[in-house]
Amino acid sequence: MKIAVCMKQVPDSDKVTIDRTTNRLNRAGVPAVVNPFDENALELALKLKASEPGSTVTAITMGPPPAAEVVKTAVAHGADGGVLVCGREFGGADTWATGYTIALAIKKLEAENGPFDIVLFGKQATDGDTAQVGPGIANNLGLPCLTYAKSCEVLDEKTFKVVRMTEDGYEEWEVARPCALTVVKEAGELRIANLRGKMKAKSYQPPVWGVEDLAPDPECIGLKGSPTRVAKVFAPPVKANKQVFSGTPAEQAAALVGKLAERHLV
């Protein structure tokens, strides 16, 4: 079984700020981490790998040169290898252009090594929170995609059994290979990297693919190929309109009920 897991390097959400001129994240000087939901996707990939002997896990990421650390992190935890998609031409991509570009990288990997049985994503990235890239990549690859997956197991050589979270509980699905899943944190925390994995990752240098390797349509990548633009980023104003009731508890309760009744809330 061949497993792909798409991962992203994001700024540490506790330290990020917004550039009010460009309406984009200030990444300079902000520590970068692996998107937490992508760690859950990697953990699910490693569980699937362990369930079927001979399986492989390939990590894929797109970003500037330092994003190679994402692939090295995946290798440290048990992935077999990976690739970094990198180039100034890809900069400024929105979710549509990102999905198009990463899908090209997956197609190139499949052309070289055979098709993937399953492609995994974190349910969303903490720097954008759109949850659009995973399904977008699946659409570009022509794969059925289940979102909010909390578990996946091999049912037989052609089928996976997937449990996905819903607002009301969960659903059980049977989905044919190949397919794609976006993964929630309930899939499990990423295991601790062992010494062998750390040593392998230390010397591992993922291949770096640019526009010359993927041969994309230049009208579909980067800022130029992005049909959406961020017009403004702002925090909604906080409205504090409070009223304090005095008197005994019974009087306060009666006053509160009266105010709610005025607003037709009771």
The 10s digit of each residue's pLDDT in 169-207 is 999 999 999 999 999 999 999 999 999 999 999 999 999
| Residue 265, domain member (yes or no) | no
What's the full length of the chain, in residues?
Answer: 266
Q: pLDDT at residue 149 above 90?
A: yes
Q: pLDDT at residue 18 above 90?
A: no
* Residue 85: CA count within 13 A, CB half-sphere: 31
d(CA 145, CA 189): 22
d(CA 144, CA 131): 16
d(CA 254, CA 245): 10
| Residue 231, domain member (yes or no) | no
29 DSSP 8-state letter: T
Q: pLDDT at residue 27 above 70?
A: no
| Residue 228, domain member (yes or no) | no
How many domains is the chain partitioned into structurally? 1
| Residue 36, domain member (yes or no) | yes
- Write the CATH number for 91: 3.40.50.620
Structure tokens at 225: 């190929």
| Residue 91, domain member (yes or no) | yes
Q: pLDDT at residue 235 above 80?
A: no
| Residue 258, domain member (yes or no) | no
Hey, is 163 helix, strand or coil?
strand
Q: Cα 213 from chain centroid?
A: 24
| Residue 262, domain member (yes or no) | no
**Which domain range does residue 177 map to?**
2-220
The 10s digit of each residue's pLDDT in 56-76 is 999 999 999 999 999 999 999
Kindly state the percentage of the chain with pLDDT values over 90.
77
User: How many C-beta atoms lie closer than 10 Å to residue 239's C-beta?
Assistant: 6
Compute φ and ψ for 64, nearest 5 degrees: -70, 170
| Residue 183, domain member (yes or no) | yes
